[in-house]
Amino acid sequence: MKGLIQRVTQASVAVDDQQISAIGPGLLLLLGVERNDTVKEAKDLCRKILSYRVFPDEQGRMNVNVQDSGGSLLVVPQFTLAADTSSGTRPGFSLAAAPDTANTLYQEFVSQAKTGLGEARVGEGEFGADMKVSLLNDGPVTFMLEARG
């Protein structure tokens, strides 16, 4: 399972020109589910993201996690993160989880995030939808995190 996190001052997601979720300061997470991922990877990656220190402390050093910063998390499913780009000029998607499995693990991740941060601090995209994601990257600060089984 892969998660691309971006520290943001704000982020939102829209479907059919209607905003479905928005956050203020926090993390935007693009979440990719791979073929061999399980609930264990969802829990491990969630734990890692919630504790990953990317917010500044009093000295301006990245030493504070999203939980302690008071920030929010916007989780957006993004199957293209599971693409195989190792050869050619077109991505392959044989490494991506089947849609039913990916949706189940996406929902598990969101549930874990709501448990860790509180429901009010977690926003989410819509699995399988054509989404428009807007963000104001803070820094910019962007990291790719992974959980492997």
Nearest to 33 by CA among 75, 65, 81: 81
Of the listed 78, 109, 112, 127, which one is catalytic?
78
Distances (CA, A) of 3 to 18, 63, 75, 118, 135: 25, 20, 9, 20, 16
Whether the Cβ atoms of residue 136 and residue 8 lie closer than 8 Å to each other: yes
Whether the Cβ atoms of residue 143 and residue 19 lie closer than 8 Å to each other: no
The reply to whether 143 belongs to the active site is: no
The reply to whether 6 belongs to the active site is: no
Of the listed 38, 55, 59, 79, which one is catalytic?
79
Of the listed 19, 80, 85, 115, which one is catalytic?
80
The reply to whether 78 belongs to the active site is: yes
CA distance 38 to 56: 32
| Catalytic residue list | 78-80
